[in-house]
Structure 1
Amino acid sequence: MKFIIKNARIIDKENKLIQVDFLLESGKIKAIGSDLSEIYGSVEKIYDAKNALVIPGLVDLHVHLREPGFEYKETIETGSLAAAHGGYTTICAMPNLNPVPSKPDRVKAIYEKIKEHAKVKVLQYATITDELRTGDLVDFEGLIKAGAFAFSNDGAAIQSASTMYQAMLEAARLGKAIVAHVEEESLMNGGVMRLGKRSHELGIPGMPSIVESSQLARDLVLAQATGVHYHVCHVSTKESLRLIRDAKKAGVHVTAEVCPHHLILSDEDIIEDNAIWKMNPPLPSKSDRAALVEGLLDGTIDLISTDHAPHSKAEKEGSFVEGSFGIVGSETAFSLIYTEFVKKGIFTLEQVVRWMSLNPASLFNLKVGNLQIGSPADLAVFDIDNDYEIDARDFESKGTNSPFIGWKVKGKTLMTFVEGKLVWYEKE
């Protein structure tokens, strides 16, 4: 199939917006130009972008699709449709499922569901240890053959240094990444938000920041010893940033991600005991939040991921102690980052595209689209000129657990294409 996207705007090499048309054919970008009108008559369809921004489809290394085992929270179909609604064309699904993808046949079964139901490209993580919380390592080689994208125990951080060391050795041997949720459980003390002045004011058990940084320090030493590609999930403290910065200088193969909610919110935004604010890692202090922004700008943090974590309404009602950890993010990430940082002159649009699309693809060797002739036509189209309100009724996800409901933002998704196929569009 051959079709045109006309009246689009893209970012040029000088970070300026220029108007172009796209010709898409057989799932790839065939031509980009200021005037492709001479071939309009030979195409099946013309999409009018109406001066909207077109960028490479976003890539999210960290989502929770909840299937199999927790379909009441989310499914592969609803989660991937939510991703498409947010402009994502490739997402990587975490393995805290039931049954967990710790065996090749389970990974294959998930890919069968992905093939049948996914609206965007979905890559599946396998666990590092058998059944997620045991100390026994999985069959790394067998899981890779079954399609495992990388290895993570997200949601159940590995507490044994010996287990992590052996896992890193095996992953390094096979050329795969270890993707770590770092959390020293012996230091948590039942904490459910960041330990500090606000946790004391609200009378909510606090989690010290060293829960994250202490285990990260261990892992970075092990990563240096093994040579593995070690990726840190949802960095949230200035101590972690210092450790990652020093490790990179020392030649450790470490990459790191940060989430929009940690960049935008702090624990001081929590004004009541309400589980809608409960996430793990918890919202940072103001000084940590400022350090995370600086960490993106100086290259310590490589990319932005969402940690999209849908829950049922009942699981997010009530107090911090009772509620589940997690926030949805697939459908709001670009709009929030664009509004809070690009519009305020803190980030450039080019930087945001790099952190949300190009870097995750290149750092993990993903065969996804970019704005190059011959590339897969993985494209996202955003209205960056007009305000809209984040409304849970518009979500494609089953989860609506977000403190950003009601925020006025720019950057509404108008269309999302995966290999030239329109997988989501804003209905007029």
Structure 2
Amino acid sequence: MRLMIKGGRIIDPVNSIDLVGDILVEDGLVQEISPAIRTKKAEVLDANGKIVCPGFIDMHVHLREPGFEYKEDIASGTRAAAVGGFTTVCCMPNTNPVIDNGAVAAFVCSRARQVGVVNVFPIGSITKKQQGTEISEMADLVQAGCVAVSDDGRPVMNAEIMRRALEYSRMFDIPVISHCEDLDLSEDGQMHEGFYSTLYGLKGIPAAAEEVMVARDILLAETTKSRVHFAHISTRGSVELIKMAKRKGLAVTCEVTPHHLTLTDEMVRDYDPDTKVNPPLRSREDVEALRQGLIEGVIDCIVTDHAPHEVEAKDCEYNLASCGISGLETAVAVILNDLVNSGIVDISDVVRLMSVNPANILKLDRGNLAPGKVADITILDLELERRVEPSRFLSKGKNNPFKGRVLKGWPWATIVRGRLVAYNGKLVV
């Protein structure tokens, strides 16, 4: 099968490509990139006025399968990813059973091949059953297809366990993804600790609950000479700590979510449970620091932390609601609307943050449009305007704080291994 993508602005930072031209795809691989490819027999996708880039990779999603299919499953989650502009997703291990052994990891990979419409790579748990007391069998996890380990949703509170996990991970050259939260400091917290938590009468979660764990794991990364990736950082202090670690040459990377880049704790004023996330929405000062971290290159990736929930988990009192945002279908649009079209970051930087860097961190053969590479391609329309309507989400989770907003800039087409899977907001497979 041949596909010709014609007339788009092609951005590929890895190969220093930024030109208006054509891409020829054949048998799932990129065959040629040129300002003008002479007519060949192929299906033509006219990308005039669009941005054509390596497929976006979301290295932090919750697909919920196995065990919590009423919230999401691999079929629904990958369909949401496709219309959201993602060609690859990495799913977190807080399933039931936990992805803490090769059998569960192999099940996820097999299920993804059967029903998934985008690439799926599992992330195994650092500790057995995510209980923080005994390290998982990383060798089995890696052999079964895991590309990293994390106890996401639960921090590894025991520093000795975390140290040994970091040492063990070096054998497989995989990153340990750290969920930075000191549970003693965050216990029973509902939102960011500050002016608005006092005003709204909700127990706060201090920035220090995140930052003390970031500091601890930086020290452990230095001690063990291992790779640590910090999940969903949310505070100015975390940015400063990671900046210092990088200046020292430590192997640390980090990610941030669209909601932490664009929303503040003031939004909790209506007690809408869709604004309840972990880590919580932070102060305006924190948001500005995160944005500056993007500009300076301190922050490596933008991820969704896609956390879909059933209606009952969110349609309740704020203090009883589950944390999380169903973000796969709005993440790219939020970034394009709030950061790119507003001039805060350049579109080429977004390609690095959402494609090139995640591929490098996880050592995936993606994020690159060179001839011979897998044809995973995301096409963006920076002028397209659309209203966020969660009722139309392909994800089972409708919990999204951007509901009702009109955003300018959306994914226009998603191509996975040379196959068009989503087009203009609709699934086509």
Give the TM bin, normalised by the shorter chain: over 0.9
Question: Structure 1 residue aligned with 2:294, among 293, 296, 301?
Answer: 296
CA shift for structure 1 position 12: 8.0
- Matched with 1:367 is 365
- Which residue number corresponds to residue 403 of structure 2? 405
Distance 1:227 1:134 in 2: 21
TM-superposed deviation, 1:183: 0.7
The one-letter code matched in structure 1 to 2:289 is A
Q: Give how far 1:28 is off.
A: 1.0
Q: Which runs of 4+ in 1 moved over 4 A?
A: 15-18
Contact kept, 8 Å, 2:175 with 2:361, in 1: the verdict is no
Aligned-pair identity in percent equals: 39
Distance 1:150 1:11, change over 3 A: closer
Q: What is the deviation of 1:301?
A: 1.0
The match for 1:316 is: 314
Question: Paired residue for 2:21?
Answer: 20
Q: Take 1:271 and 1:37, find their aligned partners in 2: how far apart are those partners?
A: 57
8 A contact 1:9–1:18 mirrored in 2: yes
The TM-score, its normalising length taken from structure 1, stands at 0.95
CA distance in 1, matches of 2:231, 2:129: 20
Cα offsets for 1:102-143 (capped at 9, x unmatched): 111111122111111111111001111111114011111122
Q: CA deviation at 1:346?
A: 1.0
TM-superposed deviation, 1:10: 2.3
Residues 303 and 355, structure 1, Cα contact 8 Å, conserved in 2? yes
Q: By how many angstroms is 1:396 displaced?
A: 1.2
Alignment of 1:1-20 (within 5 A): 1-11=1-11, 18-20=19-21
Deviation at 1:3, TM superposition (A): 2.1
One-letter amino acid of the counterpart of residue 405, structure 2: W
Aligned AA for 1:25? Answer: E
2:383 alignment counterpart: 385
- 2:198 corresponds in structure 1 to 200
Are the structure 2 counterparts of residues 253 and 146 from structure 1 closer, same or farther at C-alpha, using a change threshold of 3 Å? same
Contact 1:69 1:98 in 2 (8 A): yes
2:248 equivalent to 1:250? yes
Q: Following the alignment from structure 2 to structure 1, what is the Cα–Cα distance between the partners of residues 5 and 244?
A: 45
Deviation at 1:7, TM superposition (A): 2.9
The residue identity in structure 2 corresponding to 1:208 is P
Give 1:204 deviation, angstroms.
1.1
| Gap change, CA 1:134 and 1:290, over 3 Å in 2 | closer
Separation in 1, partners of 2:10, 2:260: 28
Moved more, 27-36 or 397-406: 27-36
TM-score in terms of structure 2 length: 0.95
Structure 2 CA distance for aligned equivalents of residues 50 and 251 of structure 1: 42
Output the amino acid matched with 2:6: K
Q: Could you tell me which amino acid in structure 1 is paired with residue 282 of structure 2?
A: P
The residue type paired with residue 320 of structure 1 is: Y
Kept after mapping to 1: 8 A contact 2:72/2:397: yes
Report SS of the residue matched to 1:321: helix
SS in 1 for 2:5: strand
Q: Secondary structure, in 3 states, of the residue corresponding to 2:184?
A: helix
* One of 63, 88, 91 as aligned partner of 2:89: 91
The aligned length equals: 425
The equivalences for 1:72-91 within 5 A come to: 72-91=70-89
Distance in 2, matches of 1:117 and 1:272, equals 38
Displacement of 1:149: 1.2
The alpha carbon displacement at 1:423 in A equals 1.4
Distance 1:111 1:38 in 2: 38
Long gaps (5+) in structure 1: none
Structure 2: which 5+ runs fail to align? none
Matched, 1:36 2:37: yes
